[in-house]
Structure 1
Amino acid sequence: MADLVHVDGRELRVSNLAKELYPGFTKAQVISYYVELAPVLLPHVAGRPVTLRRWPDGVGAGSFVQKHAARDVPDWLRTELVAGRGDTPVRHAVLDEPAALVWAANLAALELHVPQWRFGAPGSDEQGSPRPPDLLVLDLDPGAPADVVACCAVALRLREVLAEDGLTARAKTSGSAGLHLLVPVRPGEPGATSTYAKALARRLAAEEPERVVWQMTRALRPGRVFVDWSQNNPAKTTVAAYSLRGRHSPTVSTPVTWDEVAACTRADQLVFTPGDVRARVETHGDLLAGMDGDAAELP
């Protein structure tokens, strides 16, 4: 049975609202979360092709990744072509408005992943064209028994090094085990952010080889923090700020202050539920707001 809902003048059909996508947390609650968080979430996904990770039968069952926007997408939903493997481009959805978030949530797309670049704005000369990256991302991934506390220590050092290079970093939880650093940059050569991020990861690993690793080799990671620089490849994506994560219970990739990073002594201090995030936004607004104004050129 489908229900008809109206969101900012758009009419959508949603279904299976009572289905639990997490234990005790229904699809209706997922949709409600994304509608309520739209004002702070949309600036971080708007203009970027979205990759959806979907759990149609809930987090206790399997998931799959959807890049291609299905043929039956609403006619008002923005879609753009992205170069794929081989010669076949992939048509991605672009979530530019609250109704687009409802469309995605109705597909049980708990996770929203976007690249570090945007398309040219509608109506501009660059409309539909991928622009160079405007964001550099460092994904700090702890190898057990290391946890997010170790990530925080590495993040503080990375913040110092980035500042020395004239760059401003902000932090968010991954919503899983790690931490993400987001660094706004002025668009330049498409591969420049990846090159810089890799050099930065190697530098930190050389400084603290017992605590940091930059290589992809998983055997090197136990007890260390992997500084994943590879998500700056224009073909890769990172979970968006305020996105839910498909874990055993609903957690959120949540912006945090540097004071919170510095004060973290237990992993559970940086675990946030949808309710936590609503309260944080009411208190702090979007801790990532205004990042574009901090954009600087890579050294």
Structure 2
Amino acid sequence: MLRSFLLLALAALASGASAQTPWRASADGPSVSLDIAYGSVTDILFTNDRGEALGEGRADSYVGILSARVPVGARGAIVGSLPVALYAVRFNDTVGSIGATQTSFDIGNPYVGFATRPLAGAEVEAGVWLPAATGGGVGFTPDVAAAGFSADRENFEAYKTDVVSARLALRGEADLSAAASVRGEIAPVLSYYTGDLPTDGFGQELDLPRTNAAVTGAVFTDLRFSALALTVGALGRYEPKGGTDRYFDELFASGLAMVTYEGASVQPSLGVRVPLAAISASDFVLTAGVSVPLR
């Protein structure tokens, strides 16, 4: 775990992820949603940009994603999201002038795209993440990237600094009965790093690429019990170059369970995500959200 966090900043130059919270089904009309996730990691060794240890401690990560969908014409919609991150570090002992506790709030990379439904039960979406996330943090890793990795690994692209990305998402859904449905998504992602590539990482010579290709995917089952809806499923990301720096695995997957109350104009939800494959900073991630259909 300690070595994993030392290498996180270097690995962040080459990974792809989905744009918005993929466990939410696409709304039929205009809508706004807010999702918040929390992850916590203990026994972290924080280092500076020279690889020197700053001290051990605990990190609590909170991320929020504000998403919106505005219909355009009979079949299209403009979609967008704005991620933010709160990263709180608590050192076991006071570290020089840093202090025992450090907290930062950062804006991630906003996403904007266009979605269309050419057929019933099918949707195509194309969009880009704009490079707005800023660097800086307690240690070598930017706080915004560390928070996103811990609490929202599936959407890590939204929290990386100096990265512009584009994706094309294909979605499908089908009703199994009046109370059950299935849906899925697959999305190739292409990323380009706009900053200065590091050539040295903790004494090791690096040769990192500026571009990275990945494919993200998800599959869910929705079960409805009167005003309650239960969503269970899995999310994943495949990166052919994911193991280049010996940190990211080529395949990462997590499972999700979420309950949503759909009996009001404001629809709250609670959920949990657990890692199924590859490295994960948190043993589990708690999520809470609210969706507001604007009809």
Same fold, judged at TM 0.5 (above)? no
Q: What band does the TM-score fall into relative to the shorter chain?
A: under 0.3
Higher helix proportion (structure 1 or 2): 1
Please report the TM-score for the alignment, with normalisation by the length of structure 1: 0.24
Please report the TM-score for the alignment, with normalisation by the length of structure 2: 0.24
Higher strand proportion (structure 1 or 2): 2
